Structure 1
Amino acid sequence: MSGNSSPSASAQLCYENVTGSCVKTPYSPGPRLILYTVFAFGAVLAVFGNLLVMISILHFKQLHSPTNFLIASLACADFLVGVTVMPFSMVRSVESCWYFGRSFCVFHSCCDVAFCYSSLFHLCFISIDRYFAVTDPLVYPTKFTVSVSGICIGVSWVLPLVYSGTVFYTGVNDDGLEELSSALNCIGGCQIVVNQDWVLIDFLSFFLPTLVMIILYSNIFLVARQQAKKIETIGGKTGSSSTSYKSRVAKRERKAAKTLGITVIAFLISWLPYSIDSLIDAFMGFITPAYIYEIFCWCGYYNSAINPLIYALFYPWFRKAIKVIVSGQVFKDNSSTVNVFSEQT
């Protein structure tokens, strides 16, 4: 019967004259342009910002450390969000239609979940790393080695990929919701529904690492404050070189913990609304309006673009590395040995 639809009705379908096409609810030209600009800016920043982070850490030998390898791997997850998730979500959000096929819809959803949890696991391991670095900075290098960092990176990638692939490619996410899933997934739609059991698992998978990070960073800042007072007191009495060295090490680790703590807070602020809404929505009959859902999604996506900005604001070595890369000096011989630290602490 779609062939008998009026032109105005046909214009509101994702695919004109196709039976079973989703209804299209487009924005007017002004808001449409603004949304494309905002979303495209986030995607570009996520791609190129995180690419700079990865190049900086992997190229400059001075930055080869267990913590920085974790940061580079985290940047890789955010980079992949910018490449595989944000551009296609941008079209879906603005056009209210999915033009990339059902198979790619499942793959897109799988990447969305996998890279989000990969970022979360990376941040959780980074918080563990910072805890050891601050509580025992002199022994820390023997505890958190490059091999330990590699294991953490492996876990942060394998578990999310296996989990998301299992959930979406086996179809267990919509068990008991087959009628709703069929109704939502008209031609031109890409809405993955998740039943209450898996939503609860998703929330716990988000909440438990988050709780670990909150506890660890609370302890980190408590210990750091005590350390600073203790070193200041001892240093004032002895003034020895060993005490001065301990003071510099402790100060450096506290600064790194503070910066990465800001990264964790940014992640939680970005993804917590979506996680809470998903949990409530599943138990309330999926009542969240589409535009609210899209806002929560893009708050999470934009986290992938925020991290490089945090590094640029708080890490002088990252700013110097960017100058070397952008100016083309990175292609010179021995550029990997350039001193990217503006000061030794």
Structure 2
Amino acid sequence: MVVLVVLLGLLTLLTALVNGAVITAICTTKKLHLPANYLICSLAFTDFLVSILVMPVSILYIATETWSLGQVVCEAWLSVDMTCCTCSILHLCVIALDRYWAITKAIEYARKRSARRAAVMVGIIWVISVFISIPPLFWRYRPGSHGPKQCIIQHNHVGYTIYSTFGAFYIPMTLILILLNVTIRIPSFETEMEAADERHQICTSRERKAARILGLILGAFILCWMPFFLKELLVGLQVITATPHVSDFLTWLGYFNSLINPLLYTSFNEDFKLVCRPRLNVQCCPIRECIRESYMQCVHWRYDLRSVC
């Protein structure tokens, strides 16, 4: 159990650091002040919220194997969990839609693409996420004054299970797959004819590369979240029952996606590479220096011991 808690703690810390680095890079680097990057920044902020509000409480719950924080905290935690995770998923959907418009309607969308439009998109994402996540608060079972011993998602309402799983995962996933398939398959000459000048051709080429990167992110997203939402749907329909350990594993597999998103962006995007890697190196530098210093002290100690002998 101790090893598991330590591993989950390191995963949580790394998720917070990497997403924090992406947020800081976009906010402080003028070169990255682009509407498309604002959506990425919002995604990183959502994943950052998952790492500081959701994952630590889950670690405590797993370590103690019982819920000890009371009914109010339980409801707040589950609501924040569902809202942030749904919001993270819907961000990928909006980013795919943004790439689709940028490639298929290069010149027209370039005029409309603005920070204000990105803000409206983000606002819509949060509203949809709240509407998907809040309903269970109105029918959760209210225990006595001692509070609940478990804090889990209730599967008593089949209609809500279908509504939430399709709204938070299956419909967005289908839409992303369709958009990416259309975007990547569009022949280059079609967008080059629309984006006649050289500057727009370069931008369109960059958007195509970004769409392919988004394809990798979508693959990771499906691998991380598909098992969880498949389990939720089957449990809600009373087809299967899931043990607490299986539920915890599938939930954390979904949380892991909050770490993968920024890693993929910073690994394949040259602009993010140049800005984010130095920041991550600075954050990790004290740890490396501490390890190096401890190693050198150990070497000197062994050398002195041999001299004495």
2:153 corresponding residue in structure 1: 192
Deviation at 1:248, TM superposition (A): 2.5
Displacement of 1:319 in angstroms is: 2.4
Gaps of 5+ in 1: 1-31, 235-241, 329-345
For 1:228 and 1:254, the matched residues in 2 are separated by 13
Percent of residue pairs bearing the same amino acid type: 27
Matches of residues 15-164 of structure 1 in structure 2 within 5 Å?
32-164=1-133
1:168 to 128, 136, 143: 136
Count of aligned pairs between the two proteins: 277
Structure 2 length as normaliser, TM-score?
A: 0.82
Aligned counterparts, 1:181-220, within 5 A: 187-194=148-155, 195-205=157-167, 206-220=169-183
Q: Counterparts of 2:148 and 2:47 in 1: how far apart (Å)? A: 30
What's the Cα RMSD here?
2.5
Structure 1 Cα separation of the partners of residues 247 and 191 of structure 2: 49
Query: 1:246, CA displacement in angstroms?
Result: 4.9
Contact map agreement 2:18 2:259 (CA 8 A) in 1: yes
Q: After superposition, what is the alpha-carbon deviation per residue over 1:99-143, rounded to whole angstroms, capped at 9, x for unaligned?
A: 222211111100110001111221111111000112233333113
Alignment partners' CA distance in 1, 2:208 and 2:153: 42
Name the CA distance, whole Å, in 2 between partners of 1:117 and 1:326.
27
**For 1:176-203, what per-residue CA distance to the aligned partner results, in whole angstroms no more than 9, with x for missing partners?**
xx5xx869x9743212313211101112
Q: Equivalents in 2 of 1:56, 1:113: separation in Å?
A: 27
In structure 1, how many angstroms separate the alpha carbons of the residues matched to 2:147 and 2:227?
Answer: 27
Contact in 2 for aligned 1:274/1:300 (Cα 8 Å): yes
Q: Distance in 2 between matches of 1:278 and 1:326?
A: 36
4+ runs deviating over 3 angstroms:
185-188, 228-231, 242-247, 323-328
**Alignment partners' CA distance in 2, 1:66 and 1:261:** 20
Partner deviation per Cα, 1:31-52 (whole Å, 9 max, x = no partner): x122112211221122111111
- Which residue number in structure 1 is paired with residue 254 of structure 2? 300
Q: Which runs of 5 or more residues in structure 2 are unaligned?
A: 283-309
Using the size of structure 1 for normalisation, the TM-score is 0.74
Which whole-Å CA distance do the structure 1 matches of 2:66 and 2:147 have between them?
A: 10
**Other-structure match for 2:290:** none
CA distance in structure 1 between the partners assigned to 2:148 and 2:198 by the alignment: 67
Counterpart-to-counterpart distance in 2, 1:285 and 1:140:
46
C-alpha distance in 1 between matches for 2:206 and 2:111: 17
Distance 1:150 1:196, change over 3 A: same
Per the TM alignment, residue 68 of structure 1 is displaced from its structure 2 partner at its CA by 0.6
Distance 1:70 1:229 in 2: 26
